[in-house]
Amino acid sequence: MSGRRHQDYLIVGVMAAIALFFLLPFVWILLTSLKPEAEVFSRSLWPSALQFDNYVRLLDKMPFWQYLRNSVLITAISVLGVVLSSSLVGYAFGCIEWRGRNFLFYFVIATMMLPMQVTMIPIFVIFKELGWLNTFKPLTVPMFLGGGAFNIFLMRQFFMTVPASLLDAARIDGCSELGIWWRVVLPLARPALATVAILTFMFTWNDFLTPLIYLSDQAKGTLALGLGQLAGQQQPEWAVLMAASVLMMLPVIVLFFLFQKYFIQGFTMSGIKE
């Protein structure tokens, strides 16, 4: 009996050691961001005085508020677009029986396998011809066109769990398909909507490549882009960079603790995190 207990202590000890590996970087980063500049290049872990100078200096280093506004705008529109369009399309594939449904669904699945590099250049040319370079349209408009194969798949899987008898009852009552989607299916599908919304938020908030390609104008940049540029300087100012990272991580971490369940659902279902 006591052998068992000893074993449990050992396991918890190992777990705690591993927890340090995952957690310590966050603590260290937060501390760096609060250190006076002179102490950044010293090995002492704890700052002599906690101060927010680096956060203030960040405002001089990059147009923070402008970038924040752009990031929030792009992310909000993207989340709206993806949730709206993937739930519409998911309804088509999950709740209506129609000719060609299965055939088209194979194409949805097939596009999941397609590396984005193959389509990236022609899409860039399309947006260039449309005169959309240096606007938010290349980042937001595509989000309203299906919202990505994975999100459609996730919605469809969830919608298929809605009993067909419920849909048929609504149809007999004279409810239109649009009405059923809005009034019957969407309220039931809140967990799926939340999962898709969170995945989209994470993707857009962190996205670096798309803004890099389309937003070369300084005033149009996003936080992710600004952070990348700040880090690319010859002599990066680490304390300021860590302050910027902490600020950018903050909404992600807050959302995580509010909606842990949906985060985990999203991450365990989607294959590709990046």
Partner 1 sequence: MRALNKNTVWGYLFASPWIVGFLLFGLYPILVSFWYSLCQYDVLRIPQYIGLRNYRELLFEDHYFYTAVWNTLFYTLVRTPLVIVGSLLLAMLVSKAVRGVRLFRTIYFIPSIISGVILSVLWMWLLNPEYGLINSTLQFFGLQGPLWLIDPRWSKPAIILMSVWSLGGGRMLVFLAAIQNVPKHFYEAVEMDGGGWWARFRHVTLPFISPVLFLWFIFEIIGSLQVFVEAYVMTKGGPLNSTLFYNLYLYNKAFDDFDMGYASALAWLLFILAGIITLIQFRVSRKWVYYSGGVGK
Which span sits near partner 1 by CB under 8 A: 12-20, 53-61, 161-169, 189-197?
12-20
Is residue 81 a contact partner of residue 146, using CB atoms and an 8 Å limit? no
Q: How far apart are CA 35 and CA 29, in angstroms?
A: 10
Which span sits near partner 1 by CB under 8 A: 47-55, 61-69, 187-195, 258-266?
258-266
55-63 long-range contacts (CB < 8 A, ≥24 apart) are 55/243, 55/247, 57/237, 57/240, 57/243, 58/240, 58/243, 58/244, 58/247, 61/230, 61/237, 61/240, 61/244, 62/226, 62/229, 62/230, 62/244, 63/218, 63/219, 63/221, 63/226
- The site for partner 1, by CB under 8 A, has a size of 93
Does 32 contact partner 1 by CB under 8 A? yes
Which class for 256: exposed (0-12), middle (13-18), buried (19 or more C-beta within 10 A)?
middle
Q: How far apart are CA 77 and CA 222, in angstroms?
A: 14
Is residue 179 a contact partner of residue 26, using CB atoms and an 8 Å limit? no
Amino acid occupying residue 104: L
Out of 123, 170, 175, 186, the residue judged to bind partner 1 by CB under 8 A? 123
- Smallest distance, Å, CB 9 to partner 1? 9
Q: Which is closer to partner 1, CB of 43 or CB of 187? A: 43
Which span sits near partner 1 by CB under 8 A: 5-13, 56-64, 65-73, 182-190?
5-13
Does 145 contact partner 1 by CB under 8 A? yes
Which span sits near partner 1 by CB under 8 A: 47-55, 60-68, 93-101, 187-195?
93-101
Out of 36, 37, 40, 47, the residue judged to bind partner 1 by CB under 8 A? 40
Does 128 contact partner 1 by CB under 8 A? yes
Does 85 contact partner 1 by CB under 8 A? yes
Per-residue x/- mask for partner 1, residues 43 to 72, rule CB under 8 A?
x-----------------------------
- Smallest distance, Å, CB 69 to partner 1? 18
Does 130 contact partner 1 by CB under 8 A? no
Does 267 contact partner 1 by CB under 8 A? yes
Q: How many CA atoms lie within 13 A of 23 on its CB side?
A: 6
Closest Cα partner for 246 from 21, 22, 66, 27? 27
Does 30 contact partner 1 by CB under 8 A? no
Near partner 1 in 179-218, by CB under 8 A: 181, 202, 206-209, 212-213
Does 26 contact partner 1 by CB under 8 A? yes
Does 272 contact partner 1 by CB under 8 A? yes
Q: How far apart are CA 245 and CA 33, in angstroms?
A: 9
